[in-house]
Amino acid sequence: MSESKNSSMIDRKMMIRALKDSFIKLSPKTQIENLVMFLVYVSAILTTALFFLSLFGIQDAPSGYILGITIILWFTVLFANFAEAIAEGRGKAQADSLRSAKKDVTAHKIPSIDSKEKVEEISSALLKKGDIVIVKAGEQIPADGEVLEGAASVDESAITGESAPVVREAGGDRSAVTGGTTVISDWLVIEVTNEAGESFLDKMIAMVEGSSRKKTPNEIALQIFLIALTIIFILVTVSLYTYSLFSANQAGIKNPTSITSLIALLVCLAPTTIGALLSSIGIAGMSRLNQANVLAMSGRAIEAAGDVDILMLDKTGTITLGNRQASEFIPVDGHTVEELADAAQLSSLPDETPEGRSVVVLAKEKFGIRERNLNELNMKFVPFTASTRMSGVDVKGIEIRKGAADSIKNYVQDHSEIYSKECEEIVKQIANKGGTPLVVTKDHVVLGVIYLKDIIKTGVKEKFADLRKMGIKTIMITGDNPLTAAAIAAEAGVDDFLAEATPEGKLSMIRDFQAKGHLVAMTGDGTNDAPALAQADVAVAMNTGTQAAKEAGNMVDLDSSPTKLIDIVRIGKQLLMTRGSLTTFSIANDLAKYFAIIPALFMGLYPELSALNIMRLHSASSAIFSAIIYNALVIIALIPLALKGVKYREVSAGKLLSRNLLIYGLGGIITPFIFVKLIDVIIVATGLV
C-alpha cells in the first residue's frame, strides 16, 4: 500500500515538474530546436498580434474567432512541450536519485601498493587519474577505478538498484569499481581511472537527464523530411490565399478566407503530430533502456540496436547456464546404473564445484540415494589437481575415482592392462554431442560414465526463433572446440558459431559482417573483448567487467546480465516501430484533414465545392476551429503511446510495414473525419462559432 502511495506521489511530482517545464520550454531558443513546432509557435505569436490589432478595429476576422484560434495554438505548443517534459520526467527523477548517491567523501590516498601505512586523507573531489586509494569495509569508494590488490564484497545498489552485494577483486574481469558504491567486507586497493566530474556516475546522470542526448541520424533525417513537408504546406497555403484573393476580386466580393484561418489551416496541414512527439519518443526509448538498467552512452546506439541484424552472444551465461551439469549416468560392462550412481555420488560428496554438486543431486533425484555424512563414513577425500585431472574418495578400503577419460585410463592401466572398450565408445559419443564425459572407477574397475552437459537456458531457443523472424542472425561465441560448439549451437538454435574464439577472431568476424553492410551487436566484459566492442555497432559492456571493456562499449549493462542484449535489441526496435507508426499516423492525418477542410473553407467562393464537403461541416469557421482543436487534442491523446511505445512484435519488416499502414495509416485517415465532425457538431450546438 505504501509503495503504491509513494509511486503515485512520484507521478504527481513528475506531472507538476512537466507542467512547469512546459512553460519554461516556451523560450524561442528551445522552440527553434524543433522547426515544425517552431512554426506553430510563430503562428501563435502572429494570431496573438492579429487579436490585439482586432481590438483596435483592424479586423482580419471576428475578435472572438481569432482569440479562440490563438488560445488553441498556444495550447498546441504547450502540449508538445508537455509531451517532451513528461518523457524527460522519469529520467530527471532517476538522475535525482543517482545524484543523491554522488557525494564527496574522504578518500584514503596512498603513495603505492607497497606503502599502505602512509595514508593521506583528502576529499574525493581532489582525486586525479592515476591516484591510488585504499578502501576498507564500511567505506564508500571515492572514484571510479581498477582494483590493484585485494578482494571484497561491494554494495552497488545505489547504481544498479540490486541489493545483493557483488565481489570485486584484482585481476580478471571483475576488477572495475564505480565511485559511489560501498565496500561491505574486507578491503581494496584501487587506482583511480577518471578525473573528478568525468566519472561513470557523472556520465550516467547526464544521460538519464537527457542533457547530453543528441539527435540520432534517423531522427535528423525524419526531421528534414517533416520540414520539407511543412515547406510544401506553407507554399500550398500561400497559394490558396493568393488564389482566394484573386477569385474574390474577380467576383467582386470580400475575400472570405482570413489570414487567421489560413494560419490555422497551415498548422492543421503541417505534420505537427509527429513533430510534437518526435523528441519524446526518443527520450522515452532511452528511459525504457534506463529502466532495464542499461546506460546508453549515445542515442545513436539505441537506434542502431533497432537496426541490428547480426547478434553475437557469449555461450557461457547467455545461452547456457554457465556451469556444466550431470544429466545422465551411463554404466558399462554389465554394471548397474544404481551401482554407478552410488559410487559417483560418494566421489562427489566432498566436491563443492557446481559440477560435483550436480552429480550428488542427480543421484538423489533419479535413484533416491540420499547424501551421506563424510565424517560418519570416515572418508578420505582425494582433491582434484591439474596434474591428475581426477578426484575421489577412499572409504572402508575402497578407492572411488572420477575424472577425465584419459586420466582415468592411465590410472586404471597403472594397476591393470584391461580398460573398458565400451567406456571408450561412450566417451567418444558424449564428446561428439558436445558434452563432457567423466569416467567413474571403483577399485580400478570402470563402472561407467557421467554425462556432463551445458544446460541451455529455458526459452533461449524460442527467443532465437523470434529473432530469426525479425531477420536477425544469431552467432554464438565460445572458446570450446568446433565439435562441442557445433553440438551446443544446434541444441540452442543459433544460426552460426565462432569456436575457439580469440580477440582477433571476434574482431575479424565483426569487420567482415560490417563490410557486407550488416549492423553488428555484441556483448563482453573482459579486456580481451575491448577491440571487438569498440568495432561493434552496438557494444554492451558488463558493469562487472574491466574498465577497458566499459570504455570500449557504447552501452553498459548495470545488471551485468549477458542476455540483456536481446532486450536491448527489442527496446531499440520498439523505438523505431513507435516512431514509424506515429509518423504514418501523422502524415495520414494531414492528408485526411486536407481533404476534409479545403472544401468547407472555400465553399463561400465556390458553392460547387459543397458537394465535396462530405463531412457536412457547418461553415468555414467551424471547419477550421474543429480541425485546430482536434490537432491539439490528438497530441495529448498520443502521449501515452509515445512514452510506452507500440506493442513489440517479432515480425519481419515487410509484415510490420503492412500492419502499420493498415492500423496507423488507415486509422490516421479515418480518425480526423470522425472527431473533426464530432467537434464541429459540439461547437455549433454550443454556439461557439
- Which residues fall in the annotated binding site for ATP? 351, 355, 384-391, 402
CA angle, residues 117, 121, 126, in degrees to nearest 5:
130
Per-residue exposure over 280-290, b if at least 16 CB sit within 10 Å of its own CB, e if not: bbbbbbbbbbb
- CB of 302 closer than 8 Å to CB of 464: no
As a whole number of angstroms, the distance between CA 170 and CA 141 comes to 15
Q: Quick one: cell of 605?
A: 467562393
Quick one: which H or E segment has residue 153? strand 145-155
For the annotated binding site for Mg(2+), the residues are 525, 529
Residue type, 496: D
Phi and psi at residue 283, to the nearest 5°? -65, -40
- CA separation for the pair 481, 469 (Å, rounded): 29
Query: Rounded to 5 degrees, what angle do the CA atoms 637, 639, 645 make?
Result: 120
DSSP state of 647: P
Q: Which DSSP letter does residue 444 get?
A: T
Instruction: Name the residue with cell 572458446.
Output: 479
Query: What residues contact 370, with CB distance under 8 A and at least 6 apart?
Result: 364
Backbone angles phi, psi at 142, to 5 degrees: -80, -20
Please identify which residue in the block is written with the cell numbers 556520465: 203
Of these residues, 60, 155, 173, 314, which one is catalytic?
A: 314
Per the CB < 8 A criterion, the answer to whether 302 and 296 are in contact is: yes
Please, how many CA atoms are within 13 Å of residue 378, restricted to the half-sphere of its CB? 3
- The residues pairing with 136 across neighbouring beta strands, listed in sequence order, are 187
Which grid coordinates are listed for 369?
Answer: 540415494
> Cβ–Cβ contacts within 10 Å for residue 585, how many?
25
For residue 185, count CB atoms less than 10 angstroms from its CB and return exposed for 0-12, middle for 13-18, buried for 19 or more: middle
- What single-letter amino acid sits at 275? G
What gap in Å lies between CA 51 and CA 74, rounded to an integer?
13
Residue 333 CA to residue 342 CA, distance in Å, equals 17
The reply to whether 480 belongs to the active site is: no
Residue 182 near residue 154, CB atoms below 8 Å: yes
d(C-alpha 626, C-alpha 85), whole Å: 27
CB within 8 A of 626, min separation 6: which ones?
A: 617, 676, 677, 679, 680, 683
Return the amino acid letter for 628: I
Catalytic residues: 314
